[in-house]
């Protein structure tokens, strides 16, 4: 009986040892899998680091479209980055129009869910319009104010430039807006914002003044698109103090025929007909240049002569159709 008991006891001990060995192997195998899985797990490469922009930064920062914007510092959330592609706090007006304005027109939304409305930069009267002035192009609208009067942002946006400009603007603030426009506030006596700062319509950006190339205190206000100036009176109704429409359609041909003041001036100058003194005092009468809307009757009356006399001197009939630019003896 005793030998049988010993055999049963040995069998029980052997089975316990076997099960313990199997359990131990399972634990080791499981631990090995975890270690292997951990070792094979690819290490996550740190996101591409973008240099932090300081408020006085004057560098050109290129936008990396591969980086999710919600993971980037708020200073890098540049308005209209998809249109401009960079954030330049040095260049006053980026020359990007020819490169980025590829269609015949572009629609700019002034009042929508993405913008917080509009505010007049200053409520003063207009003293100078967009256009050629004193032998120079004037790309903005001058608003009368007193030195120290507040100047506010027209639209929601981010300050791109806030510094002194030696090119004539003096203390200038330039804001880039979500809709692609940039607004310029020049000749300020004091700057109250910094590059990278976000502003809302009506938020003070500076105090009016007379800095730079300026004759008397006023605000020189501009609206630009991809660096090209737009007549602010095509956007703003200065009598009501509001924008004329909720959206602005910019036509490429307008930038050539309406807003490019230097080009327009050059074309007009090349078409001007000059008359020498010898021509004016030539034998047979004085020479005049026919203007738009002129008729033989108007010319005769203006020069104190008769239609028949003009026709005789020029060898023309009274039924002659006059064209602007023609030369006639009177």
User: Do 99 and 138 reside in the same domain of the chain?
Assistant: yes
Pairwise pLDDT comparison (76 vs 196), residue with the higher score: 196
Domain annotation covers residue 56: yes
Would you say residue 147 has pLDDT above 60?
yes
User: Do 76 and 124 reside in the same domain of the chain?
Assistant: yes
Would you say residue 201 has pLDDT above 80?
yes
Q: Where are the alpha helices (DSSP H) in the chain?
A: 2-40, 81-84, 97-100, 252-257, 261-271, 277-280, 296-302, 307-314
Would you say residue 186 has pLDDT above 90?
yes
Q: Which helix (H) or strand (E) holds 1?
A: none
Domain annotation covers residue 36: no
Domain termination site, one of 254, 272, 290? 272
User: Do 267 and 281 reside in the same domain of the chain?
Assistant: no
User: Do 134 and 257 reside in the same domain of the chain?
Assistant: yes
pLDDT value of residue 234: 95
Domain annotation covers residue 34: no
Range of weakest confidence among 27-36, 79-88, 98-107, 127-136 = 27-36
User: Do 105 and 67 reside in the same domain of the chain?
Assistant: yes
Q: pLDDT class for 244, splitting at 50, 70, 90?
A: very high
Q: How far apart are CA 176 and CA 158, in angstroms?
A: 6
Domain annotation covers residue 28: no
Q: How far apart are CA 244 and CA 237, in angstroms?
A: 6
Domain annotation covers residue 39: no
Total count of domains within the chain: 2
Query: Looking at residue 286, which CATH number applies to its domain?
Result: 3.10.350.10
Q: How far apart are CA 7 and CA 274, in angstroms?
A: 133
Would you say residue 49 has pLDDT above 90?
no
CB of 172 closer than 8 Å to CB of 76 = no
User: Do 124 and 242 reside in the same domain of the chain?
Assistant: yes
Q: pLDDT class for 38, splitting at 50, 70, 90?
A: very low
* 214 token code pair: 């300026």
**Range(s) of the domain holding residue 307:** 277-329
User: Do 85 and 55 reside in the same domain of the chain?
Assistant: yes
Per-residue pLDDT tens for 168-183? 999 999 999 999 999 9
Q: Which residues pair with 77 in a beta bridge?
A: none
pTM: 0.63
Would you say residue 63 has pLDDT above 80?
no
User: Do 252 and 289 reside in the same domain of the chain?
Assistant: no
Query: Looking at residue 222, which CATH number applies to its domain?
Result: 2.70.70.10
Domain annotation covers residue 40: no
């Amino acid at each position: 009986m005793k030998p049988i008991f010993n055999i049963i006891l040995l069998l029980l001990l052997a089975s316990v040892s076997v099960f313990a060995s199997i359990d131990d192997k399972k634990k080791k195998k499981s631990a090995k899998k975890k270690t292997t899985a951990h070792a094979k797990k690819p290490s996550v490469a740190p996101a591409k680091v973008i240099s932090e922009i300081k408020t006085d930064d004057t560098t050109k920062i290129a936008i990396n479209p591969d980086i999710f914007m919600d993971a980037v510092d708020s200073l890098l959330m540049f308005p209209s980055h998809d249109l401009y592609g960079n954030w330049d706090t040095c260049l006053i007006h980026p020359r990007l129009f020819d490169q980025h304005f590829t269609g015949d027109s572009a629609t700019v939304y002034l009042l929508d869910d993405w913008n917080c409305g509009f505010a007049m930069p200053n409520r003063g009267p207009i003293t100078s319009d967009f256009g050629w002035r004193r032998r120079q192009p004037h790309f903005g609208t001058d608003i009368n104010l007193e030195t120290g009067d507040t100047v506010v942002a027209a639209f929601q946006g981010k300050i791109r430039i806030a510094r002194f400009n030696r090119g004539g603007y003096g203390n200038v603030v330039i804001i880039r807006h979500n809709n692609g426009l940039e607004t310029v506030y020049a000749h300020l006596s004091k700057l109250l914002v910094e590059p990278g700062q976000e502003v809302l319509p009506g938020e003070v950006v500076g105090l009016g003044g007379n800095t730079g190339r300026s004759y008397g205190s006023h605000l020189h206000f501009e609206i630009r698109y991809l660096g090209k100036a737009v007549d602010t009176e095509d956007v703003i109704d200065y009598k009501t103090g509001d924008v004329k429409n909720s959206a602005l359609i910019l036509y490429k041909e307008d930038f050539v025929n309406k807003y490019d003041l230097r080009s327009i001036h050059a074309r007009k100058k090349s078409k001007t007909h000059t008359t020498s003194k010898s021509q004016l005092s030539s034998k047979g009468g004085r020479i005049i240049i026919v203007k738009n809307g002129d008729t033989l009757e108007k010319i005769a009356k203006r020069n104190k002569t008769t239609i028949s006399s003009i026709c005789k001197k020029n060898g023309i009939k009274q039924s002659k159709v006059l064209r602007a630019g023609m030369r006639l003896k009177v």
